[in-house]
Structure 1
Amino acid sequence: MSNLLKTWKRISLVQQIIIGLIIGIVLAITLPDVARPITILGTLFVSALKAIAPILVFFLVMSAISQHKHGQHTNMKSIIILYLLGTFFAGFVAVVASFIFPVSLTLSASAEGVSPPGGITEVLASLLLNIVDNPIKALFNANYIGILSWSILLGAALKSAPESTKKMISDFSDATSTIVRWVISLAPLGIMGLVFESIATNGLESLLSYGKLLILLIGCMLFVALAVNPIIVYLYIRKNPYPLVLKCLKDSGITAFFTRSSAANIPVNMSLCERLGLDKDTYSVSIPLGATVNMAGAAVTISVLTLAAVNTLEIQVDIATALILSVLSAISAAGASGVAGGSLLLIPLACSLFGIPNEIAIKVVGVGFIIGVLQDSFETALNSSSDVLFTATAEFSEWRKEGRKIP
């Protein structure tokens, strides 16, 4: 047993997760009733991530803002522009791909009990209200928009605090980051339970029946990650972008794919930024911010599923409306974390642009829940890896102007 544990520890986390994934699939197919108790491992893993992630974001941002020195240069403006560009172009790619490869749905699935927003005004109003939400309530409900706003305000207020106070906040930040790493180290067991539960409950057929939709969704996300984002990066750094793009996907995207939580992946992204030699004053703010508002994957999901519903109902769409959908999906995706249910619950909002009744749009949300095991994994991987990619791009662009060597 001792030798087995030593061998296990020598294996990388990604390899451990793949082993857990395979075991979960095999058990779900061969022993679904006998092995059902292992579903508790997935539940515990997700619950632990959900519990610690809000506290992590709160202390990380508050610590970074409180220790920022006046006049210290950061690249936040460029990073925010990159976040917005990345999200918009992701939605645009999804719209174009849906026109070239139209997909229709069999709308038998439903999503009872969900309450999507009634319009873009409601989304924006919800976003503003979440910004000023009670800080304790925001932490309790994992309202990341509210957590981010209060942590920024408290960090700014603590700039003049004694160094001992700032050190204590920094220690809390480091401690929560360590706890998240401990939880992520248990990912192989958690993923095994999650995969088992998904396949044992819905069956492999549930995923295969939506094969064309999944191919379109995943294809769009891969195209954004491997074509659109590299073009954006190249325009900024004027250098082959793929070493940086592939490093971000490997070191950040793979972990995010399995944890399915941008917030929980923050310590992984921070560690990657450190290895890239980026400025801590910048990435300690941009990474938590990106986990909240940089939502290229969500923009793809909203656009593809909305146009799948449009194709199902044989609604004619002109180019102008399609462009509006690109903008709407980008705005909605950025506000997704402030709406209960995330990107899937914003699909009815986008469907309303084409006059699709709410009861049909809710069935589209139901389809999203069925394919969520893959859709959400790829979406999170794209979102989280882009946080590091665009943070590094903004800083490397400054290095290029200064004549410094870009790694």
Structure 2
Amino acid sequence: MSAPPKLFKRLLNSSLVLQIIIGIIAGILVATFSPSSAQTLSFLGDLFVNALKAVAPILVFVLVASSIANQKKGTNTNLKPVIHLYLMGTLLAATTAVMISVLFPTTLILSATDIQANPPEGIVEVLNTLLFKLIDNPIHALSTGNFIGILAWAAGLGLALQHASQTTKTMVHDISNAVAKIVHIVIRFAPLGIFGLVAGTFAETGFASLLGYSHLLMVLLGCMLVIALIVNPAMVYVKIRRNPYPLVFQCLRESGVTAFFTRSSAANIPVNMELCNKLKLHEDTYSVSIPLGATINMAGASITITVLTLAAVQTLGIEFDIATAILLSVVAAVSACGASGVAGGSLLLIPLSCSLFGVPNEIAMQVVAIGFIIGVVQDSAETALNSSTDVLFTAAACLSENAHAVETETSLNKA
């Protein structure tokens, strides 16, 4: 056999992460030397993202329903500590963004914009939207990717099926396994999909248009790096009481990289579930915590909302005190939980935060327009942080519970 086929075979048998890295490099090279070819090949990225979005709702529905239906009495799902980590992480991210924005103030060049959007007018509207998503028609929820509604119906069906015959429970479990296999097949095409996404993005936008917003991007990315590499590891250490960085880097590598290029927390749900399975986490936990995290674990979104809001405030020369900044952190954290799990979902919540400082809606929408301009970097980094943290906090809660169980068993044995 000749060398190229041997090399190709070894590449196919290598780790998925290595294949993705090769896809990224290949995409950059194609976009650099043949932009027209890169734009043509970008359809591979669109196919991959659409395939993930198509399989994610049905995966969540059958997996949650199966997990609850087959759950044994007395099983601890660890959902409460995961939710606590989600909410605390989102609030700490917003607070960190306030501190860094004050230390490194940003001013923007604002101008007229034609952006068309319908931002929410207040927190009540955000919470109202979440409530109506919760009681959405199940078919509509599945077709639109409304994961709050999907979780509610799947949980209800799972609880009802707990009283079904064992044959029915087994059938639901088999369906869940079958969908999981389809997901595995889709994820195997990640290198090709990411190649198409990288090639198309670099060919269409590049980074020249971002130079004018370099300071803003540095503040945004700096906040996200502080959360990813300092705050989150500290929270995980408090939970598991051992070096958190191997787990942190694995989540960033195997979940964050994919999320960075898909720019959709919803599309990354199958990837995260696959990683949770690889980490041997409790299925009853991650089948619920991962899709839930795609909706309420929004550290990256809260950073974006806070930084861009304070940039508008600092540009207009509006004075603000620490109390108002803390209030902004809370509003950003709550609003971020209502952000959509798709690309750019957090940007339309900026006018809500801007209203706290009396910033006119016309100015706020110009800030939103700037958010879309830098979105090729900002939204990618935001999604990578959000999605990888879903797995990180789920793993931390599961590992903490396992360690506690071992300690309890050791104490009982000594007694």
TM-score normalised according to structure 1 size = 0.91
Question: 1:44 aligned to 2:47?
Answer: yes
Can you list the C-alpha shifts for 1:379-405, whole angstroms capped at 9, x where unaligned?
A: 222222222222222233334444449
Amino acid at match of 1:161: A
Structure 2: gaps (5+ residues) = 409-415
How far apart, in 1, do the equivalents of 2:227 and 2:203 lie? 32
SS of residue paired to 1:336: coil
- How far apart, in 2, do the equivalents of 1:35 and 1:279 lie? 41
SS for the counterpart of 1:73 is coil
Cα distance, 1:84 vs structure 2: 0.8
Query: Which of 207-216 and 138-147 deviates more?
Result: 207-216
CA distance in 2, matches of 1:43, 1:217: 27
Counterpart position of 1:10: 13
- For the residues of structure 2 that align with 1:315 and 1:254, how far apart are their CA atoms? 38
1:5-29 CA distance string (max 9 Å, x none): 3133034322322332233333333
Query: CA 1:39–1:271 in structure 2 vs 1: closer, same or farther (change >3 Å)?
Result: closer
Report the counterpart of residue 333 of structure 2 in structure 1. Answer: 330
Equivalent in the alignment of 1:313: 316
Counterparts in 2 of 1:25 and 1:150: CA distance versus 1, 3 Å: same
Contact 1:109 1:367 in 2 (8 A): no
Letter in 1 for 2:396: T
Residues 123 and 339, structure 1, Cα contact 8 Å, conserved in 2:
no
Give the residue type in structure 2 aligned to 1:210.
Y
- 3-state SS, counterpart of residue 36 of structure 2: coil
Match of 1:248 in 2: 251
The 1-side partners of 2:228 and 2:142 are apart by 31
1:40-79 → structure 2 map (5 Å cutoff): 40-79=43-82
Aligned equivalents of 1:107 and 1:191: distance in 2?
34
Q: Distance in 1 between matches of 2:6 and 2:110?
A: 52
Q: What is the one-letter code of the residue matched to 2:374?
A: I
Cα distance change, pair 162–376 in 1 and its aligned pair in 2 (3 A):
farther
Q: Per-residue displacement from partner, 1:186-232 (whole Å, max 9, x unpaired)?
A: 22332232233323333321223322222211111111111111221
State the alpha-carbon separation in 1 of the partners of residues 146 and 175 from structure 2: 20
> What's the RMSD between the two structures over aligned residues?
2.4
Q: How far 1:277 moved relative to its partner?
A: 4.1
Q: Is the 8 A contact 2:17 2:254 kept in 1?
A: no
2:210 maps to: 207
How far does residue 340 in structure 1 lie from its aligned partner after superposition?
9.6
Correspondence for 2:121 among 100, 118, 129: 118
Inter-partner Cα distance in structure 2 for 1:398 and 1:12: 30
CA contact (8 A) 2:348 2:368 kept: yes
Contact 1:127–1:335 at 8 Å: present in 2 too? yes
Give the secondary-structure state (helix, strand or coil) at the position aligned to 1:394: helix
Aligned equivalent of 1:160: 163
> For 2:77 and 2:226, how far apart are their aligned partners in 1?
30
Return the alpha-carbon distance in structure 1 between the equivalents of residues 373 and 330 of structure 2: 26
Q: Partner of 1:350 in structure 2?
A: 353
Q: Does 1:290 align with 2:309?
A: no
The whole-number CA distance in structure 2 between the counterparts of 1:373 and 1:109 is: 21
Instruction: Report deviation, 1:171.
Output: 2.5
Shift in alpha-carbon separation, 1:209–1:219, aligned structure 2, 3 A? same
Cα distance in 1, alignment partners of residues 294 and 11 from structure 2: 31
Structure 2 counterpart of 1:281, from 266, 276, 284: 284
CA 1:198/1:249 → structure 2, altered by over 3 Å: closer, same or farther?
A: closer
C-alpha change, 1:371 and 1:168, in structure 2 (3 Å) is farther
**Residue equivalent to 2:98:** 95
- Could you say which residue in structure 2 is the equivalent of 1:140? 143
Could you say what secondary structure the match of 1:6 adopts? helix
Greater Cα shift, 3-12 or 342-351: 3-12
Instruction: Normalising by structure 2, report the TM-score.
Output: 0.90
Going from structure 1 to structure 2, the CA distance change for 1:119 and 1:23 (only over 3 Å counts) comes to: same
Q: Which amino acid aligns with 1:58?
A: F
CA displacement, residues 332-385 of structure 1 (integer Å, 9 cap, x when unaligned): 111113899521111111111111122221222222222222222222222222
Secondary structure at 2:311 match in 1: helix
Q: Cα–Cα, structure 1 residues 257 and 75, in superposed 2: closer, same or farther, change >3 Å?
A: same
Q: Which moved more, 1:346-355 or 1:280-289?
A: 280-289
What does the per-residue CA deviation read over 1:167-189, in whole Å, with 9 as the maximum and x for residues that have no partner?
22222322332223322222233
Contact 1:145–1:338 at 8 Å: present in 2 too? no
